[in-house]
Structure 1
Amino acid sequence: MPLSRNAKVLSTKQPRVSKANPTAENVNPEKEESCQTKRSLSSPQGGPKKRSAFGDLTNAHKNHVVSGKKEAVKVVLQKNHTAQGVARNNEINLQKSMKKTPPTEVPAESKEDPTPEKPVPEQVPAVEDIDKEQLGDPYANAEYAKEIFEYMREREEKFILPNYMEKQSDISRDMRAILVDWMVEVQENFELNHETLYLAVKLVDHYLVEVVSMRDKLQLIGCTAILIASKFEERYPPCVDDFLYICDDAYKREELIAMEISILTTLKFDINIPIPYRFLRRFAKCARASMETLTLARFLCEMTLQEYDYAQESPSKLAASCLLLALTMKNLGGWTPTLEYYSGYRAQDLHPLVKRLNFLLTYQPRDKLKAVRTKYSHRVFFEVAKAMPMDMLKLEEILKSC
Structure 2
Amino acid sequence: MSAMSDSGFEEELQSPSPCQQHVTRPWAESARDTPTHSDESCFITQSHKQQHFLTRDCLARQPQITAEARCKLVSWLLAVYKHFKLSFESCCLAVNIMDRFLVTTSVAADCFQLLGVTSLLIATKHVEVCSPRIKQLLSLCCDAFSREQLCNLECLILLRLNFRLAAPTLAFFLDYFISHELSRYAIRTKEKIPDEENKFRSWKAAEEQLFSMKRYKCLVGKVCELSLADYAFNKYPPSVIVLSAINLTKDLVRRQIKESSVKNTRLSEMLDFVSVADNNSQGLDDPTLIQQCTQELKLLVSLNQESVQDLMTL
How far apart in 2 are the matches of 1:17 and 1:168?
Answer: 36
Which structure has more RCO (C-alpha within 8 Å, separation ≥ 6)?
Answer: 2
How far apart in 2 are the matches of 1:235 and 1:277?
Answer: 17
How far apart in 1 are the matches of 2:152 and 2:80?
Answer: 21
Partner of 2:16: 14
Partner of 1:357: 297
Q: Which residue of the other structure, out of 84, 101, 104, is the alignment partner of 1:210?
A: 104
Shift of residue 298 of structure 1? 0.6
The answer as to whether partners of 2:24 and 2:86 remain within 8 angstroms in 1 is: no
20 and 300 in structure 1: CA distance in 2 versus 1, 3 angstrom threshold: closer
How far apart in 2 are the matches of 1:235 and 1:191?
Answer: 12
The answer as to whether partners of 2:22 and 2:85 remain within 8 angstroms in 1 is: no
How far apart in 2 are the matches of 1:317 and 1:308?
Answer: 15
The answer as to whether partners of 1:287 and 1:339 remain within 8 angstroms in 2 is: no
Structure exhibiting the larger radius of gyration computed from Cα positions: 1
Aligned pairs for 1:1-400 within 5 A = 13-14=15-16, 16=20, 19=23, 33=29, 134=34, 142-288=36-182, 290-331=213-254, 332-333=271-272, 335-338=275-278, 340-342=280-282, 344-345=284-285, 349-364=289-304, 373=307, 383-384=310-311
How far apart in 2 are the matches of 1:175 and 1:208?
Answer: 13
- Partner amino acid, structure 2, of 1:174: E
How far apart in 2 are the matches of 1:18 and 1:247?
Answer: 20
Shift of residue 338 of structure 1? 4.8
How far apart in 2 are the matches of 1:226 and 1:18?
Answer: 14
Per-residue Cα deviation, 1:127-183 (whole angstroms, up to 9, x for no partner): xxxx9x75xxxxx7x241111111101111111223132211111111111111111
The root-mean-square deviation of aligned C-alpha atoms, in Å, is 2.9
- Could you list the structure 1 runs, at least 4 aligned residues long, displaced by more than 4 angstroms after superposition: 17-21, 346-349
250 and 346 in structure 1: CA distance in 2 versus 1, 3 angstrom threshold: closer
Larger deviation, residues 340-349 vs 156-165: 340-349
Task: Give the TM-score, by structure 2 length.
Answer: 0.72
351 and 210 in structure 1: CA distance in 2 versus 1, 3 angstrom threshold: same
Shift of residue 337 of structure 1? 3.8
Per-residue Cα deviation, 1:337-392 (whole angstroms, up to 9, x for no partner): 4554246347555222111111111124xx9xx8xx3xx67xxxxx31x579xxxx
The answer as to whether partners of 2:138 and 2:146 remain within 8 angstroms in 1 is: yes
322 and 263 in structure 1: CA distance in 2 versus 1, 3 angstrom threshold: same
How far apart in 1 are the matches of 2:166 and 2:134?
Answer: 22
- Partner amino acid, structure 2, of 1:14: P
Aligned pair count reads 253
How far apart in 1 are the matches of 2:286 and 2:250?
Answer: 15
Structure 1: which 5+ residue stretches go unaligned? 1-11, 22-28, 37-130, 135-139, 378-382, 389-402
SS of the residue 2:229 aligns to: coil
How far apart in 2 are the matches of 1:275 and 1:169?
Answer: 27
How far apart in 2 are the matches of 1:347 and 1:224?
Answer: 36
Per-residue Cα deviation, 1:101-127 (whole angstroms, up to 9, x for no partner): xxxxxxxxxxxxxxxxxxxxxxxxxxx
